[in-house]
């Protein structure tokens, strides 16, 4: 086997996906049972290491972790009191990603969402890689695209997909926005301000993105998301694209969908733009993001 430093997150996930596609029929293929894969993967891939313990550990500020117990033996821990089974599954898959991609670099991985912002650069990259592995393993591109094929995207479809794959709606929406050829923007906001935003490749090329890192960005007035009276609109409403992006053509229209999650106190919004609608400020037309 190639040295593990060369194993990329998506390669590791795709290799496992091929094995699972063969081992399971369609009715039992999803959601992926991460703990049983975790304990089998060491011998399956003929690694020098294996995960021998997969256990819940409900500690404060702890989502999950991976720890070397002794040479060749590792333990995967996860917090089962996370808000949803989908979050628990994603955390387990994230730790499996650390095992397959990063275990030669460190003996311990402590993972919690709250700390991600404070990690140094290398640690941030490892966390992003473990997330990429988890997303690819739990929602393989072929089956994920097939589950959404043939219709214009909406939050109902993404919600149905999230149940099939056993992940949170946010994870399914992120998987879609990172793999679609459509122009679309995903925004997570609370109390009228954006927590983060992710744009599809095409939306980025058309200037449709929000820079939220380290900044306070308000949800624009007049948008569906800003309307406190409406908790949810899964299928979407059409409104002038200018409401979201001031430099849009006056005739351009965006389909805006939103879902307010009381449990979490945030609103997930999906903006579906026309593929040809560019929203660069006039002076930025020839510049990239």
Contacts of 38 (CB under 8 A, 6+ apart): 51, 54, 76, 92, 95, 96, 99
Helix (H) or strand (E) holding 90: helix 85-97
Contact 177, 272 (CB under 8 A): no
The two structure tokens encoding residue 190: 């609370």
Instruction: Decide if residue 51 touches Zn ion (CB under 5 A).
Output: no
Among 13-21, 128-136, 203-211, 219-227, which window interacts with Zn ion (CB under 5 A)?
A: 128-136
Rounded Cα distance between 78 and 81, Å, is: 9
Contact 283, 247 (CB under 8 A): no
**Of 76 and 111, which CB lies nearer to Zn ion in the complex structure?**
111
**Of 111 and 158, which CB lies nearer to Zn ion in the complex structure?**
111
**Of 76 and 224, which CB lies nearer to Zn ion in the complex structure?**
76
Contact 91, 111 (CB under 8 A): yes
Distinct helix (H) and strand (E) counts, the chain: 8, 9
**Of 112 and 160, which CB lies nearer to Zn ion in the complex structure?**
112
By beta-carbon distance, which residue lies closest to Zn ion? 111
Instruction: Decide if residue 82 touches Zn ion (CB under 5 A).
Output: no
Rounded Cα distance between 88 and 224, Å, is: 31
Instruction: Decide if residue 111 touches Zn ion (CB under 5 A).
Output: yes
Instruction: Decide if residue 38 touches Zn ion (CB under 5 A).
Output: no
State the minimum distance, in angstroms, from the CB of residue 126 to Zn ion: 7
Instruction: Decide if residue 130 touches Zn ion (CB under 5 A).
Output: yes
Q: What is the DSSP letter of 29?
A: S
Among 119-127, 196-204, 223-231, 233-241, which window interacts with Zn ion (CB under 5 A)?
A: 119-127
State the minimum distance, in angstroms, from the CB of residue 68 to Zn ion: 15
Q: Which residues form the interface with Zn ion (CB under 5 A)?
A: 111, 127, 130
């Amino acid at each position: 086997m190639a040295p593990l430093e060369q194993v990329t997150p998506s390669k590791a996930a795709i290799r496992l996906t091929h094995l699972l596609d063969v081992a399971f029929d369609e009715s039992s293929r999803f959601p992926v049972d991460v703990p049983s894969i975790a304990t089998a993967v060491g011998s399956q891939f003929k690694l020098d290491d294996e995960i021998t313990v997969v256990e819940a550990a409900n500690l404060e500020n702890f989502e999950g972790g991976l720890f070397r117990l002794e040479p060749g033996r590792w333990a995967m821990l996860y917090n089962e009191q996370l808000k949803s089974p989908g979050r628990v599954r994603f955390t387990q898959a994230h730790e499996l990603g650390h095992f397959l991609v990063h275990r030669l670099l460190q003996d311990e991985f402590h993972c919690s969402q709250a700390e991600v912002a404070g990690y140094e650069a290398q640690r941030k990259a490892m966390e992003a890689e473990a997330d990429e592995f988890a997303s690819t393993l739990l929602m393989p591109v072929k089956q994920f695209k097939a589950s959404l094929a043939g219709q214009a995207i909406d939050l109902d479809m993404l919600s149905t997909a999230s149940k099939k794959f056993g992940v949170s709606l946010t994870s399914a929406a992120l998987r879609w926005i990172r793999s679609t050829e459509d122009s679309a923007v995903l925004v997570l906001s609370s109390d009228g301000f954006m927590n983060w935003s992710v744009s599809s490749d095409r939306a980025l090329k058309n200037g449709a993105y929000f820079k939220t890192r380290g900044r306070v960005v308000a949800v624009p007035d007049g948008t569906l998301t800003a309307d406190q009276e409406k908790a949810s609109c899964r299928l979407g409403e059409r409104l002038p694209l200018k409401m979201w992006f001031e430099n849009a053509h006056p005739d351009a229209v965006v389909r805006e969908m939103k879902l307010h999650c009381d449990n979490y106190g945030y609103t997930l919004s999906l903006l579906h733009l026309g593929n040809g609608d560019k929203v660069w400020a006039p002076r930025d037309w020839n510049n990239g993001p």
